């Protein structure tokens, strides 16, 4: 049986319990409110940096972009300048659409057997929609949270908030991003459970971040709409953290500490996990290189000489046969034994 | 092929759902007849000086491995993580979203979940995680390795690597759909490199590589025989057209060196493509003084080293520039081949360049500068011929191809490695009246592999080939039913070698041709007879009545 998701769910529940109960013991608030967030943030920065530098240290010996369109060739043949870019601008455009719109994922199709003898491929955009919804709402939530880390709150944060609360219902006003984020997490989880092939390939390390992010969203929503956390006190704590004058204000509920702890765990976990696709997507050599390998020379830093079979060795082996067949040779065979004349 | 069930039975038994009860790490490896190629012949491994040449049998428990094989793999892996950023990133950032899962022709044809690109890569990633990542080392020690997909390198894992890395044709279709561009071909290439460190190759790669190294081509044709073979075609061409063509060999001071896969010299229907080249070159020589030479030393375009290791690829590829330099030609023209062009496009200049002893390629007939080949100095014959047609330099009688309803198979490597998509289509449309595209999801960069690339075109793995070629054949079947297509054109010698068997199994009414067979059918040679047959000896449309009399 596939226990990977149970394993991750239990892990996240344990983390919840740890923080929920931990802040009730003496010193717990200090630990979960100040020490762990700092440690996590440092782990995130150092880990992220280390990982990217690790990739950077590895060579890019060959240019191996996957081309997804017509190459640059004869002047009257229209090149696909984005999917088969020969210029830096083309590469930038390709990467931009890849990172901002998940272009490759948009191509996704689903294959199915039909009518007894047919394979059919249908456009399958739900993963693309789910992924976009997930990443963009996450980004929105993140930006919205800058309200807690800045004084005065910058205009663009307020603007994002206004857009996010566009529908103006509920009190306090309901932010769409939180709801959509939770829904997207749920979708991404359900597809891992219900699509047999995806379930088959899913590991605990695929479920864990989903549960963790789901937990973050859930505790956030709980604080805002249900337990009604003391916002002023929460902001006092976060401002203390960013200004390096950390304090533990009175009256911040346990759920806040759980929320903060989940975020800390996510930060610390990030560099050691698949979440590093955030950094890696920029460095992928199949996407971020121009396809000009025939037009421009590229140097491999570890290129070394190899043993080749030279023409001379080849001719030495086949000279007689080549001459007999009338093929030109570089070296004529030794003149036949002059002693015959003698 | 006689062991295989009928194609419709085979199709109906494919199940794309993975097993319910066991996870992939608990599913034992089952090396099955018909799905793998024979082990490499020790003599071939020895010829190349590759390590651990020995007889071994995949079906036996003992693979006669060197004692420290785990250490060799570990160190090989370490070295490659430093040498290839692609590899390192692809080990780290896969999120297992599953977008690639049903993009692989081997998965679609076999339903074997380990043929999902993501899982094929996980076979290697699991060892990487266990040995090279902090999380993997800690969690594996705590007994949670399996949950995060980490496992130690064992003999079973090694066997799984061998089995599944030789069930991948390195076609890169999965990479097109991956949101991070993870290229399973790159992982397979490196996986095969690691296996080669232990002498574990398949013979359909090892022996062609040894042949290419020694004789210049994968079939081991010696120079005099190579010339003989082309001269057979000279006779055939004379019989069909009444014109005697005169190919040149190893000619110093020729303008252009022509290199094509040797499969075209050897087996039908590639031979007709080869005759096509010869007819075209003769036409160009007569009309425009085009001076091209063949080489017996660099007599292979295909590079089977690519399926062995980067180093072996480089060793074989070196011959192209060495020969061009020796003969003193201006630039190189390359024939219709799949992975040959991936190597030329993405590796050759870096490995064996700079080709500064050659000139930037210009068509001596049209004056067109091939800007895209400025550095490698090597032009694809589809580009070259498309340019000739565009400038009206060929005399064509298109009706001679009227008996053909043609569709075009984009070969994976040129399509996804370089983007050679419109040039061959332009040529076909100008030499044939009936051209039909296969469905959009099966052509261009989304093209499906022939199922036998990357060295898998052996006789003993026929079931694997027919399964892997299923998506391609299925799309051909679609246009065959819809438009009566009876000819599948391609620009790859491996395609020409393997697609006939694939068609025979799945769509028996369809034949296979190269681009230049179609060109030569239509090309009017100066002083030729009224042709009654095409290059295959089939009566031309409109001439049947005469021949019946």
Closest CA to A74 of B371, B167, B275, B177: B371
Q: Tens of pLDDT along B474-505?
A: 999 999 999 999 999 999 999 999 999 999 99
User: Would you list the DSSP string of B17-44?
Assistant: SPPSSS-GGGS-----TTSSPPBPPHHH
pLDDT for B548 beyond 50: no
Question: What is the value of ipTM here, to two decimals?
Answer: 0.93
From the centroid of its chain, how far is CA A122?
Answer: 25
Q: Tens of pLDDT along A35-74?
A: 999 999 999 999 999 999 999 999 999 999 999 999 999 9
> Is the CB of residue B311 less than 8 Å away from at least one CB of chain A?
yes
Q: What tokens were used for B463?
A: 């079931």
- Which residue among A105, A283, A297 places its CB closest to the CB of B179? A105
CA of B90 to nearest chain A CA: how many angstroms apart? 8
- Which residue among A116, A287, A303 places its CB closest to the CB of B351? A303
Span A29-35, mean pLDDT?
A: 94
pLDDT for A170 beyond 80: no
CA distance B528 to B322: 37
- Which residue among B93, B214, B250 places its CB closest to the CB of A277? B93
CA distance B221 to B205: 16
Q: How far is CA A5 from CA A199, A270, B142, in A?
A: 10, 18, 18
Query: Residue B340 in contact with residue B301, Cβ under 8 Å?
Result: yes
CA distance B533 to B540: 5
Cβ-based contacts of B376 with chain A (< 8 Å): 293-294
- Which residue among A67, A76, A116 places its CB closest to the CB of B390? A76
pLDDT for B150 beyond 90: yes
Span B515-519, mean pLDDT?
A: 97
Query: Residue B38 in contact with residue B460, Cβ under 8 Å?
Result: yes
Cβ-based contacts of A318 with chain B (< 8 Å): 222-224
- Which residue among A286, A294, A327 places its CB closest to the CB of B86? A286
Helical ranges in B371-469 per DSSP H? 381-390, 412, 422-431, 462-468
Quick one: what percent of chain A has pLDDT higher than 70?
97
User: Would you list the DSSP string of A233-249?
Assistant: HHHHHHHHHHTT-----
Nearest CA in chain A to B368: A74
| B positions 273-302 inside 8 Å of A (CB) | 296-297
Count of A-B CB contacts under 8 Å: 326
Cβ-based contacts of B421 with chain A (< 8 Å): 69-71
Which residues, in sequence order, are bridge partners of residue A209? none
Closest CA to B117 of B16, B166, B185, B179: B185
CA distance A202 to B122: 11
State the residue for tokens 């759920």: A255
State residue A38's pLDDT score: 97
CA of B543 to nearest chain A CA: how many angstroms apart? 36
CA of A286 to nearest chain B CA: how many angstroms apart? 6
Q: Is B292 helix (H, G, I), strand (E, B) or coil?
A: strand
CA distance A260 to A257: 5
- Which residue among A59, A67, A294 places its CB closest to the CB of B85? A59
Q: Tens of pLDDT along B170-193?
A: 999 999 999 999 999 999 999 999
Cβ-based contacts of A11 with chain B (< 8 Å): none
Q: Is the dihedral of CA B68, B73, B76, B78 positive or negative?
A: negative
CA distance B479 to B433: 16
CA of A54 to nearest chain B CA: how many angstroms apart? 9
Cross-chain Cβ contact A60/B386 below 8 Å: no
CA distance B50 to B54: 11
Query: Residue B244 in contact with residue B238, Cβ under 8 Å?
Result: yes
CA distance B18 to B113: 6
Closest CA to A84 of A286, A293, A296, A290: A290
Whether cis (ω within 30° of 0) applies to the bond prior to A156 is: no
Closest CA to A130 of B238, B99, B84: B99
State residue B2's pLDDT score: 59
Span A170-186, mean pLDDT?
A: 90
State residue B549's pLDDT score: 39
Beta-sheet strands, E only, within B374-455: 378-380, 406-409
Whether cis (ω within 30° of 0) applies to the bond prior to B354 is: yes
Q: Is the dihedral of CA A317, A320, A324, A327 positive or negative?
A: positive
Cross-chain Cβ contact B214/A51 below 8 Å: no
Q: Containing H/E element for A6?
A: helix A4-22
CA of B369 to nearest chain A CA: how many angstroms apart? 9
Nearest CA in chain B to A206: B95
Nearest CA in chain A to B471: A119
State residue B541's pLDDT score: 80
Query: Residue B184 in contact with residue B287, Cβ under 8 Å?
Result: no
Cβ-based contacts of A72 with chain B (< 8 Å): 371-372
CA distance A87 to A74: 16
Q: Give the DSSP letter of residue A154.
A: P
Cβ-based contacts of A2 with chain B (< 8 Å): 23
Q: Is B361 helix (H, G, I), strand (E, B) or coil?
A: coil
Cross-chain Cβ contact B350/A327 below 8 Å: no
Q: Give the DSSP letter of residue A292.
A: -
Cross-chain Cβ contact B251/A127 below 8 Å: no
Query: Residue A40 in contact with residue A265, Cβ under 8 Å?
Result: yes
State residue A57's pLDDT score: 95
In terms of Cβ atoms closer than 10 Å to its own Cβ (0-12, 13-18, 19+), residue B502 is: buried
Cross-chain Cβ contact A77/B216 below 8 Å: no
State residue B1's pLDDT score: 57
Closest CA to A182 of A130, A228, A231: A130
pLDDT for B470 beyond 80: yes
State residue A168's pLDDT score: 73
CA of B533 to nearest chain A CA: how many angstroms apart? 31
Closest CA to A120 of A110, A107, A134, A131: A110
| B positions 180-199 inside 8 Å of A (CB) | 180-183, 186
CA distance B319 to A314: 11
From the centroid of its chain, how far is CA A41?
Answer: 19
Hey, how many other C-beta atoms are within 10 angstroms of the C-beta on B252?
11
Q: Tens of pLDDT along A248-265?
A: 988 888 899 999 999 999
| B positions 483-542 inside 8 Å of A (CB) | none
Q: Is B490 helix (H, G, I), strand (E, B) or coil?
A: strand
**What is the rounded end-to-end Cα distance, in angstroms, of chain A?**
92
State residue A218's pLDDT score: 94
State residue B545's pLDDT score: 54
Cross-chain Cβ contact B350/A293 below 8 Å: yes
Round the average pLDDT of chain A to a whole number and report it.
92
CA distance A63 to B347: 8
């Amino acid at each position: 049986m596939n226990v990977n998701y149970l394993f991750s769910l239990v892990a996240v529940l344990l983390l919840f319990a740890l923080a929920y109960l931990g802040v009730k013991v003496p010193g717990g608030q200090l630990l979960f409110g100040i020490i762990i967030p700092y440690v996590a943030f440092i782990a995130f920065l150092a880990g992220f940096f280390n990982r990217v530098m690790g990739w950077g240290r590895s060579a890019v010996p060959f240019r191996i972009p996957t081309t997804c369109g017509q190459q640059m060739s004869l002047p009257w043949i229209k090149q696909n300048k984005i999917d088969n870019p020969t210029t830096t601008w083309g590469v930038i455009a390709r990467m931009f659409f890849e990172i901002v719109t998940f272009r490759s994922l948009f191509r996704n199709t689903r294959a199915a057997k039909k009518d007894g003898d047919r394979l059919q491929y249908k456009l399958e955009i739900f993963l693309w929609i789910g992924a976009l919804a997930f990443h963009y709402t996450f980004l929105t939530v993140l930006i919205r949270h800058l309200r807690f880390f800045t004084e005065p709150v910058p205009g663009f944060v307020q603007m994002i908030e206004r857009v996010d609360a566009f529908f103006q219902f509920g009190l306090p006003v309901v932010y769409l991003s939180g709801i959509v984020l939770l829904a997207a997490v749920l979708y991404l989880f359900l597809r891992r459970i219900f699509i047999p092939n995806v379930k088959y390939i899913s590991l605990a390390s695929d479920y864990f971040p989903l549960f963790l992010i789901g937990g973050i969203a859930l505790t956030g929503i709980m604080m805002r709409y249900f337990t009604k956390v003391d916002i002023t006190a929460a902001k006092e704590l976060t401002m203390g953290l960013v200004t390096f004058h950390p304090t533990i204000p009175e009256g911040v509920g346990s759920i806040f500490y759980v929320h903060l702890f989940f975020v800390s765990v996510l930060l610390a976990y990030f560099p050691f996990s698949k979440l590093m696709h955030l950094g890696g997507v920029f460095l992928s050599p199949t996407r971020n290189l121009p396809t000009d390998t025939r037009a421009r020379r590229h140097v491999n830093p570890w290129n070394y000489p190899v043993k080749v079979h030279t023409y001379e060795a080849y001719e030495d082996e086949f000279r007689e046969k080549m001459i007999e067949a009338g093929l030109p040779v570089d070296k004529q065979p030794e003149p036949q034994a002059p002693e015959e004349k003698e | 092929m006689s062991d295989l069930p009928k194609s419709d039975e085979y199709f109906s038994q494919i199940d794309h759902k993975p097993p319910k009860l066991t996870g992939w790490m608990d599913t034992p490896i089952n090396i099955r007849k018909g799905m793998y190629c024979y082990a490499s012949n020790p003599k071939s491994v020895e010829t190349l000086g590759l390590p651990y040449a020995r007889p071994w049998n995949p079906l036996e428990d003992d693979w006669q491995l060197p004692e420290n094989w785990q250490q060799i793999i570990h160190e090989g892996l370490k070295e490659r993580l430093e040498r290839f950023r692609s590899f390192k990133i692809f080990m780290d950032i896969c999120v297992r979203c599953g977008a690639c899962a049903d993009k692989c022709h081997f998965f679609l044809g076999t339903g074997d979940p380990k043929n999902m690109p993501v899982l094929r890569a996980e076979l290697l990633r699991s060892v990487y995680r266990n040995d090279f990542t902090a999380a993997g080392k800690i969690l594996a020690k705590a007994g949670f390795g399996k949950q995060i997909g980490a496992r130690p390198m064992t003999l079973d894992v090694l066997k799984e690597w061998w089995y599944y890395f030789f069930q991948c044709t390195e076609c890169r279709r999965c990479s097109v759909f991956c949101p991070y561009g993870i290229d399973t071909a790159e992982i397979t290439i490196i996986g095969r490199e690691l296996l080669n460190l232990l002498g574990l190759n398949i013979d359909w790669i090892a022996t062609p590589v040894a042949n290419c190294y020694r004789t210049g081509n994968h079939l081991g044709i010696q120079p005099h025989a190579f010339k003989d073979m082309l001269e057979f075609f000279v006779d055939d061409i004379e019989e069909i057209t009444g014109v005697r063509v005169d190919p040149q060999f190893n000619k110093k001071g020729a303008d252009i060196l022509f290199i094509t896969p040797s499969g075209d010299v050897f087996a039908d229907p590639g031979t007709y493509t080869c005759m096509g080249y010869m007819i075209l070159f003769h036409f160009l020589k007569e009309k425009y003084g085009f001076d091209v030479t063949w080489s017996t030393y660099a007599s292979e375009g295909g590079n089977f080293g690519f399926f062995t290791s980067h180093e072996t690829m480089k060793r074989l590829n070196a011959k192209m520039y060495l020969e061009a330099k020796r003969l003193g030609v201006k630039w190189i023209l390359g024939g219709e081949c799949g992975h040959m062009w991936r190597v030329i496009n993405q590796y050759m200049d870096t490995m064996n360049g700079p080709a500064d002893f050659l000139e930037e390629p210009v068509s001596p007939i049209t004056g067109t500068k091939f800007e895209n080949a400025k550095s490698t100095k090597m032009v694809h014959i589809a580009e070259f011929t498309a340019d000739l047609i565009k400038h009206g330099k060929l005399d064509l009688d298109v009706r001679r191809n009227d008996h053909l309803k043609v569709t075009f198979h984009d070969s994976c490597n040129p399509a996804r490695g370089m983007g050679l998509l419109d040039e061959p289509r332009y040529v076909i449309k100008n030499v044939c009246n009936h051209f039909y595209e296969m469905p959009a999801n099966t052509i261009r960069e989304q093209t499906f592999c022939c199922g036998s690339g990357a060295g898998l075109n052996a006789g003993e793995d026929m079931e694997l080939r027919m399964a892997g070629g299923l998506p391609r054949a299925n799309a051909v079947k679609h246009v065959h039913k819809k438009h009566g297509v009876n000819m599948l054109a391609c620009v790859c010698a491996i395609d020409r070698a393997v697609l006939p068997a694939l068609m025979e199994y799945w769509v028996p009414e369809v034949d296979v041709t190269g681009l230049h067979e179609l060109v030569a059918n239509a090309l009017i040679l100066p002083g030729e007879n009224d042709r009654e047959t095409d290059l295959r000896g089939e009566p031309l449309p409109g001439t049947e009545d005469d021949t019946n009399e």
